[in-house]
Amino acid sequence: MHVAPTEFATDPQLLNLSLSPAQRTALAAFDGEPLSAEEERIFEQCVGRPYTRYRYPNLVGICGARGGKDSRVAVPIGAYQAVVPNHNEYLHKGERAYVLIVCQDQRAGAVTMGYMSAAFQNSPILRSYITDRRKNELELRNGVTIAAYPCNFRAPRGLTINCWIGNEVSFWRDENSSNPDIEIERAVRRGMAAVPNPTRHVGMGRAKFVDESRHPTKFFGS
């Protein structure tokens, strides 16, 4: 399947989503798609510099409540990374690739997986990819598992990860770590070591101001 992320999100046979101008700008700019004049203005307003086409490995979004960070940003990116890339290039026999969604708790994970499951079930094309559905996992026939786990740095260990999404990062709490976001990112990076050109980090939060030395690509939008 060869399709751009914005087309993947809006195609009636795939996710069939309606996107606001800011949501479409975030998805398009993240993958280095051409932007319209309006989208270039949105990008510069949100990021603070003119748009240059580049396929970014990291996206950090600071979003308002009901801004579509799950259904319009995290789900399209996660579903795209689960279906479009050829994962057979780096997987051994019997090994699975993971699109990993890390949430602040099980409740939030269930909400995000609800969006993801509905996206696949409601698409005549993506529905055929599902081989098994569990409470916090969606297993696909192409060797990929989409999984939502609570914010524990032990959860990603032993997984081969081609994309990870940190949901509501500013609300992460872990009694075993004072910096759960840093510890989880370290654990995830080990799981991505064998994956060529992975989507390393899509971080979505409501009040997370991020250190530029760690996450150089920020997108502020509504």
Q: What is the pTM of this model?
A: 0.85
Nearest to 113 by CA among 130, 139, 138, 96: 138
- pLDDT-derived band of residue 190, with 50, 70 and 90 as boundaries? confident
93-152 pLDDT tens trace: 899 999 999 988 888 888 889 999 999 999 999 999 999 999 899 999 999 999 999 888
What's the pLDDT at 218? 46
**Which residue, chain included where needed, has tokens 């309606």?**
18
56-107 pLDDT tens trace: 888 888 877 777 888 899 999 999 999 999 888 888 889 999 999 998 888 8
Segment (H or E) for 83: helix 75-83
Domains and CATH numbers, the chain: 56-220 (3.40.50.300)
**Residue 72, both tokens:** 């319009």
